[in-house]
Chains A and B, each alone.
Chain A
């Protein structure tokens, strides 16, 4: 191990107060960036959760549909046109819409109803912990997530309520199907969902298309677009991206998250730069001595950069530990913070870059060191 690394390590820990200040700066900054980016990823996942869990090769949507929650409706006859298109094996209708859930206390709370044909593959509730999809086929049966029991004033299977003036009972309970808007999802059979949302029988929200084996997705998309007016045929990936882009960038939420992350980076850079600079100033005599001993400038820069890197690694470890605690705490929330290995690697690289960039001011200070100063001190 080169001695300038040892020197950097010892200098770093020598002034404990400054070391703590550096760590606080880095940890604050990295946690802020990590959480903001984790929220970004979590937001991205939550807004596309319905698309991710649907069984479809293509989504037929009304032209200009911005996201899954978009209230635009298709004409029900479109389904016949879709089924008539070469390569299409099935097209299952889905109906969505906001509705009013009346609690036993008489209070009303908004819910988001998702209805599909429970006998066909399509968009069904997942992670069912109680009851079954089969049980949803019964009259007035709905599925809700256990997270929303309190909000909906229910206690579990068999609980009853009133949905848009129609009585419903809970026939299935799910775990982890949450909406980022905090409006609970309520799953129902297609026929009943129409009643709960007010979508008439001649309209539908989406068609979930399954292709015949060997069918070319792009060719089917092209055929659908050219033969049916006012629709779009989107792959799940395209619809997912569109939904995410709408919620993250169309609403400004993504920009706010990135702005928060940028702020964290700036604060971290300033704090680390300030502490590195003051540490360098305190050790100017040592750097001048190194210069007098004949060390190259690069050798001295490495002392400062090693200090920056050591600060980055130690600070990042603390920040990552806090980040994982935040993940645990938010995992059951409406907007979980998601940390992926890629995000961790990217934030680590960013932390290192931030700390090394912070060393610039200190390096510029060292650049002006005159070795002659060792004679005057």
Chain B
């Protein structure tokens, strides 16, 4: 598995003045308002906020699934401005790994195949892909579950397969959408520990979206979002608040 080299100082994800309008006409909603955000290598940032605050929209914009209505988003220095759906897909493929709340594993594929699929969409096949997928599953502690289908795995194990799938292509950024929401405390702890380790040891930028206070000890930074604006940022773990201006970084 070759590793892409990015300068350690360069942000892996960067949003500047991002505004996102969703819907149209009477249904139009400003989901994000002038948001500035930076995710750096080696850190695990936690984005917290109530339902409807814009967490998922920001995740979608940072994950190159949406292009912002205003402002700019850069992924490893590459702007998403003007990118069409296929170009956004390429940016995701090359730079971002996703972990979803409900895992989104393929029920007809084994754990190994689920992980391999992330390489397959990148055109990596054969023994190299299989060994990469095995390696990723070993890293998340599922060395004995290669042949298991999602139905044969517990929720925690399924989420670990999803993490293996997110890291198998060695992306510089990992975006996790409420990765522990469907898990019990023990499994949630285990998953967060893996994500935290990935950020520290692999020097990836990890952004976790959630509202479970138990996530806080794993975060280097905790950012609060409300009504489409980033309203607070503080260091994680210690819980020391660091006030920020609304909409500022």
- Residues of A whose CB lies within 8 Å of any CB of B are 2-4, 6-7, 10-11, 14, 285-286, 289-297, 299, 370-372, 374-377
Contact = CB atoms under 8 A, between A and B. Distances in A.
A294 B93 contact: yes
A296 B89 contact: yes
A299 B63 CA distance: 20
The binding surface of chain A is classed by DSSP as helix
Contacts of B109: 3, 6-7, 10
A10 to B, nearest CB: 3
A259 to B, nearest CB: 41
Given A14-B108, A293-B92, A375-B177, A3 B66 contact: no
B118 A293 contact: yes
Nearest to B129: A3
Given A375-B59, A375-B100, A294 B94 contact: yes
Most buried by B among A286, A290, A374, A375: A375
A289 B104 contact: yes
A377 B93 CA distance: 21
Interface string B58-93: 011001011000000000000000000110011111
Nearest to B119: A3
A290 B121 contact: yes
B124 to A, nearest CB: 10
Nearest to B118: A293
B98 A7 contact: no
B121 A293 contact: yes
Given A3-B117, A293-B117, A372-B65, A285 B104 contact: yes
A3 B89 CA distance: 18
Contacts of A6: 109, 113
B102 A291 contact: no
A295 B121 contact: yes
B56 interface: yes
A17 B22 CA distance: 40
B125 interface: yes
Nearest to B100: A374
A260 B248 CA distance: 71
Contact of A293 (B86, B91, B98, B102): B98
The 6 closest A-B CB pairs, nearest first, are A294-B93, A10-B108, A295-B121, A294-B92, A3-B120, A289-B104
Interface residues on B, range: 20 to 34
Contacts, number: 82
Given A295-B89, A374-B100, 7 more contacts: A2-B120, A3-B109, A10-B109, A286-B104, A292-B104, A293-B98, A371-B89
A7 B108 contact: yes
A290 B120 CA distance: 10
Nearest to B178: A375
A293 B66 CA distance: 14
Contacts of B180: none
Interface of B: 56, 59-60, 63, 65-66, 85-86, 89-94, 96, 98, 100-102, 104, 106-109, 113, 116-118, 120-122, 125, 165, 177
Contacts of B90: 294, 296
B125 to A, nearest CB: 6
Most buried by A among B102, B106, B107: B106
A244 B109 CA distance: 55
A286 B117 CA distance: 12
18 contacts: A3-B117, A7-B106, A7-B108, A7-B109, A10-B108, A286-B104, A286-B106, A289-B104, A292-B63, A293-B98, A293-B117, A293-B121, A294-B90, A294-B96, A295-B93, A372-B66, A375-B101, A375-B177
Contacts of A4: 120
A294 B93 CA distance: 4
Contacts of A286: 104, 106
Nearest to A1: B125
A341 to B, nearest CB: 35
A294 B120 CA distance: 11
B65 A292 contact: yes
A374 B120 CA distance: 19
Nearest to A8: B108
A136 B222 CA distance: 108
A11 B106 CA distance: 10
Contacts of A7: 106, 108-109, 117
A291 B89 contact: yes
A2 B125 CA distance: 7
A285 B118 CA distance: 16
Nearest to A297: B86
Given A2-B125, A3-B117, A293-B117, A371 B108 contact: no
A372 B89 CA distance: 12
B22 to A, nearest CB: 10
B166 to A, nearest CB: 9
B149 to A, nearest CB: 10
Nearest to A289: B104
B165 to A, nearest CB: 8
Contacts of B91: 294
Contacts of A292: 63, 65, 92, 98, 100, 104
